[in-house]
């Protein structure tokens, strides 16, 4: 990665042949995997095991084994995909997260809610170690993916970020064509054959449910798309590297209601093969799309539980006040 690279709230910014492109964390420039084997992905599935650069986790141990998260009483329990336990995070001397613990169930949508500055984005970034790019940031505690400590020895953060992708609040397409945006990651990983790139681009756009919309304008500039289309393109770009977990930080907050509805539909569909964590200020959105919600306040996680229960019968009076709109 360039020494000039910087991380801001919109992602990673780095110089690119004289142009500065703002890239999401799924940008392969921050990943130094040389394999070309993504071309083996043929089925329209984003199952991690079909991705050749996927590094199998250690067999689940300890807390993961049989560690099912019971969701709403009328739904089946889900396996734990990620788990955070007693996590503290500091920016220099200032503590931004205080002993946060949360299980993230597989193939479910988890919503993080709370007032501005409570640590939602900070927490989200701990899940793919994006905070590593902030020099003053220090984390202690435990966070795992499939039972393996993601801050432990032997973890390659660049591989972690392939498995745990991210989409930001503001759409950040590269100043290239629609096609080249999707092909960018695979090309960085060495895919050169045109037919293989074509397949990957089509698959990525289909996964994001924008193939029909974009198929006749693949070589148009992505910058000419509407905000909602750009955001869906960014989601397609994130999906093109086949993450298992997708983190979305207020991904619809800059969009109109129709574009928002498109992305909410997409989230609900992606849930079949992905684990999704969204940050949202929109309580109705949390109710519409998530099965689990966690409420943050001043760097602490006050309460988490099934979305139905958290909104209908919050246990903590601060949660009740927040979801009722009394503050924040
Ligand atoms: N890079 C950073 N360096 C220092 N402090 C930071 C940094 N990023 C965030 N913080 C601080 O950490 C705290 C939590 O910020 P964070 O952005 O995680 O909140 P948030 O809940 O996402 O807020 P919002 O809803 O406004 O996006 C805030 O006090 C913020 O000022
Ligand atoms: Mg935020």
Closest residue by Cα to atom 14, ligand 1, is 119
Whether residue 20 is predicted with pLDDT greater than 90 in this model: the reply is no
- Residues of the chain with pLDDT > 90, as a percent, come to 58
Q: What's the pLDDT tens digit per position in 274-290?
A: 999 999 999 999 999 99
Task: Tell me, using a 6 A CB cutoff, whether residue 297 lines ligand 1.
Answer: no
Task: Tell me, using a 6 A CB cutoff, whether residue 116 lines ligand 1.
Answer: yes
Better-predicted residue by pLDDT, 62 or 213:
213
Task: Tell me, using a 6 A CB cutoff, whether residue 120 lines ligand 1.
Answer: yes
Mean pLDDT, residues 181-205: 90
Q: Are 205 and 44 a contacting pair, CB within 8 Å?
A: no
Q: What's the pLDDT tens digit per position in 66-79?
A: 344 444 443 446 89
Rounded CA-CA distance 22/158 in Å is: 18
Task: Tell me, using a 6 A CB cutoff, whether residue 90 lines ligand 1.
Answer: no
Task: Tell me, using a 6 A CB cutoff, whether residue 8 lines ligand 1.
Answer: no
Measured in Å, residue 167 CA sits from the centre of ligand 1 at 17
Q: Are 8 and 167 a contacting pair, CB within 8 Å?
A: no
Rounded CA-CA distance 192/167 in Å is: 26
324: left (phi over 0), alpha (psi -120 to 50) or beta: alpha
The DSSP string of 205-256 is: HHHTT-HHHHGGGTTSBGGGS-HHHHHHHHHHHHHTT--SEEEEESTTTTS-
Lowest mean pLDDT among 124-133, 211-220, 250-259: 250-259
Rounded CA-CA distance 184/239 in Å is: 12
Ligand 1, residues 93, 98, 122, 251: which to mutate, most atoms within 8 A of Cβ?
A: 122
Rounded CA-CA distance 88/109 in Å is: 23
Q: Which helix (H) or strand (E) holds 103?
A: strand 94-105
Task: Say whether 97 sits in a helix, a strand or coil.
Answer: strand
pLDDT of residue 77: 67
In the chain, which residue ranges form alpha helices assigned H by DSSP?
120-126, 157-163, 178-188, 194-207, 211-214, 227-239, 257-270, 283-289, 307-312, 317-323
Mean pLDDT of the chain: 79
pLDDT of residue 185: 84
Torsion of CA 136, 174, 213, 249, to 10 degrees: 10
Q: Are 272 and 282 a contacting pair, CB within 8 Å?
A: no
Most confident of 104-113, 201-210, 248-257: 104-113
Spell out the residues 6+ positions from residue 11 whose beta carbon is closer than 8 angstroms to its own: 22, 23, 24, 25, 27, 166, 168, 172
pLDDT band at residue 1 under the 50/70/90 scheme: very low
């Amino acid at each position: 990665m360039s020494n000039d690279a910087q991380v801001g709230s919109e992602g990673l910014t780095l110089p690119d042949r004289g142009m500065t492109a703002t890239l999401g964390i799924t940008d392969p420039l921050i990943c130094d995997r040389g394999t070309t084997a993504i071309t083996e992905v043929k089925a329209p599935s984003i199952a991690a095991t079909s991705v050749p650069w996927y590094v199998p986790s250690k067999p689940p141990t300890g807390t993961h084994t049989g560690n099912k998260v019971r969701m709403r009483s009328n739904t089946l329990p889900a396996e734990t995909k990620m788990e955070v336990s007693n996590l503290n995070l500091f920016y220099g001397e200032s503590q931004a997260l205080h002993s946060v613990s949360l299980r993230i169930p597989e193939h479910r949508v988890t919503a993080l809610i709370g007032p501005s500055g409570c640590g939602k984005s900070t927490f989200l970034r701990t899940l793919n170690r994006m905070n590593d790019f902030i020099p003053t940031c220090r984390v202690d505690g435990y966070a795992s993916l499939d039972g393996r400590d993601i801050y432990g020895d032997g973890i390659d953060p660049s591989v972690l970020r392939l498995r745990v992708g991210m989409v930001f609040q503001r759409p950040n397409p590269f100043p290239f064509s629609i096609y080249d945006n999707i092909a960018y990651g695979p090309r960085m990983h060495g895919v050169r054959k045109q037919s293989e790139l074509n397949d990957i681009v089509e698959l990525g756009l289909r996964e994001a449910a924008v193939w029909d919309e974009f198929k006749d304008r693949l070589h148009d500039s992505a910058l000419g798309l509407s905000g909602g289309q750009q955001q869906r393109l960014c989601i397609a770009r994130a999906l093109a590297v086949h993450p298992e977990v997708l983190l979305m930080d207020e991904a619809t907050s800059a969009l109109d209601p129709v574009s928002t509805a498109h992305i909410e539909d997409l989230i609900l569909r992606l849930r079949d093969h992905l684990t999704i964590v969204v940050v949202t200020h929109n309580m109705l959105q949390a109710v519409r799309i998530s099965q689990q919600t966690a409420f943050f306040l001043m760097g602490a996680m006050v309460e988490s539980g099934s979305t139905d229960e958290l909104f209908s019968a919050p246990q903590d009076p601060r949660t009740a006040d927040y979801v009722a709109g009394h503050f924040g």
